[in-house]
Chain A
Amino acid sequence: MSRPTPAPLRAAANTIGILAFLVAAFPVYWMVNSSFLDRNEIRNPVPTWVPFGGDLDNFRTVFATDQFVNALRVSLMVTGLTVVVALAFAFVAAVAVSRFRFRGRMSFIVTLLLIQMIPVEGLFISQYKMLEAAELLNTVVGLTLVYVASVLPFTIWTLRGFVAGVPYELEEAAMMDGCTRVQAFFRVTLPLLAPGLVATGVFGFIQAWNEFTLALVVMTREDQRTLPLWLSTFTDVNRGTDWGGIMAGSTLIAVPVIIFFLVVQGRMVSGLTTGAVKG
């Protein structure tokens, strides 16, 4: 900003800024804070603002239940599988879309855009029926199948940008130096794409790790719950009682996501609106 902001405007902006920070960050702080408080502090009409003298009892309670460990196992399997499969499928598709002109390319891109807009609620009834008929309800494979389809469009879309960002001339140069086309791709282009693949993979991880709706539809049995499902029923069963435990569970689920998110956030914003911002 080359022109100085007038003092009253600056003061107002700063005040609103601090207020906005408090509203945005307080719930996250409150989750972590409450997870360290014991039952008496939680059930005190006067809130305990800082967890001085707090302990890890709530976390111990969470880990002591088989349900949490089991949900963690299911979540890790579904998330891991989804990321690997979606990344592999999306990568080859992204190469096709950004390195080749072929008939149907544009329809493929339009299809991706359209699919991205479809609400899960618009299809989950028939996805349920399909998985039921295939006896894939309550299985990691069944949930992974619908997850892969739901992250694929965005994954292809983002990776496409990364692939297009590696100049084709580099590959050509390598081919002139005697590499085959395939060798040139693997030796020159792929290493340059590594950051893009990591960022996109992390995005897929966050999506699958957080997803609630499809998990609710596909995993109806208690022993096949993912972490978000486990957390939601934890709330339900202990209605209004063990907030400390619930917050400990929330913290455990949220912390890895927040860390990952901070790592890739910049890339994802540009991925969502590339065209819009640069236009």
Chain B
Amino acid sequence: MSGTTDTRRSTPLPYALVLPALLALALALGYPLVRQVVLSFQDFGLAQQFGRPPEWVGLQNYRDLVGDGYLWRVTLRTILFCLVNAAVTMLVGVGLALLMRHMARGVRLLVQTGLLLAWAMPVVASLTVWQWLFDTQYGVVNYLLTGLGLDYAGHPWLLRPLSFFFVATVIVVWMSVPFVAFTVYAALTQLPEEMLEAAEIDGAGARSRFRHVVVPTIRPVLLVVGLLQVIWDLRVFTQIFLLQEAGGSARDTNLLGTYIYRLGIGGGEFGMSAAVAMFMLVLTVVLTAPYVRTMLRQEAES
């Protein structure tokens, strides 16, 4: 890449070219970020929404939140949900990718078609279909489970929090597995075949070949994909929000994202919700740092 780069010094042209994008980002993200920091130090509730000037309260919002057991419950719930979903997605995705190498070609094509379809579905459309599948009265899931002899006729899936999160996990995993499976499978096609053969001739069993040849080859991909899953599953909003609207109890099922929404735009507590949002941003940055570092190292190498 260095050979293709114009190295003439101090031309203003690249800055002019970057400017529109920078301005758009500064206006739509930079300014709100500053404004949010300010907002999180203010008492900004419904009274302010109707014109009363906001009052500076310093760290009061943060202090209230830290002392609020509910925020901690929501945070814990968010992290737990994120870890479970990321782990299940990785297990299923990596497992499928590994098995895809051993399937008959026709079956592999079938799997890839199915995964592509699931991947391509718009999130809101997926949500409506899964709600319909898990419908209490006419849902296919209850029909099939009842057919297996289980007592699931008229079972309300969204009523209890644990069962609510089970449905949410099924949907999130269903939507996320294709990306993992395809990416890992692509990495597996780059396995050094000669090395596997050499190892086999040297008497290495299947397990040791897997551990000493396969795993090291795909480790960088696994790391990036796993990290992306954690980041993405930390911010699951649409699935939880729509399932709540469809009959779940919001208070018992809120994750950080839906909590911020319901506190701020739903409840008019803008100062408090801004503080929770700042908390979520910091949490994301902490979890994202390793990913950004990896990407930058690759950038420097390319």
Contact = CB atoms under 8 A, between A and B. Distances in A.
Given A45-B143, A277-B186, A118 B281 contact: yes
A27 B121 contact: yes
Interface stretch (A10-18, A62-70, A193-201): A10-18
B235 A119 contact: yes
A156 B21 contact: yes
Interface in B261-302: 261, 264-265, 270, 273-274, 277-278, 280-281, 284-285, 288, 291-292, 294-296, 298-299, 301-302
Contacts of B270: 125, 129
A152 B25 contact: yes
Contacts of A93: 17-18, 20-22
Size class of the contact patch on chain A = 35 or more
Contacts of A104: 15
Most-contacted residue by chain B among A12, A150, A273 (CB, 10 A): A273
Contacts, number: 348
A130 B32 contact: yes
Contacts of A216: 241, 261
B143 A47 contact: yes
Given A10-B102, A14-B104, A125 B118 contact: no
Contacts of B174: 23-24, 27
Looking at chain A's contact residues, the main secondary structure is helix
A127 B32 contact: yes
B153 to A, nearest CB: 8
Interface in A73-96: 85, 88-90, 92-93, 95-96
B101 A277 contact: no
Given A96-B18, A265-B116, A1 B101 contact: yes
A154 to B, nearest CB: 12
A98 B1 contact: yes
B197 interface: yes
B257 A96 contact: no
Given A125-B39, A129-B39, A108 B18 contact: yes
A15 B256 CA distance: 39
Given A13-B103, A43-B138, A123 B5 contact: no
A5 B98 CA distance: 12
Contacts of A28: 117-118, 121, 129
Given A14-B104, A113-B292, A149-B28, A88 B256 contact: no
Interface string A104-128: 1100111101110111111111111
B119 A261 contact: yes
Interface size class of B (residues with CB under 8 A): 35 or more
A258 B235 contact: no
Given A10-B104, A30-B133, A265-B119, 18 more contacts: A3-B200, A5-B101, A14-B107, A17-B103, A21-B110, A27-B174, A28-B129, A47-B140, A92-B20, A102-B15, A110-B292, A152-B24, A168-B5, A210-B123, A235-B128, A240-B136, A275-B301, A276-B221
Interface of B: 1, 3-7, 11, 13-15, 17-18, 20-22, 24-25, 27-29, 31-33, 35-36, 39, 96, 99-104, 107-108, 110-111, 113-133, 135-138, 140, 143, 174, 177-179, 182-183, 186-187, 190, 193, 196-197, 200, 220-221, 224-225, 228, 231, 234-235, 237-238, 241-242, 245-247, 256-257, 260-261, 264-265, 270, 273-274, 277-278, 280-281, 284-285, 288, 291-292, 294-296, 298-299, 301-302
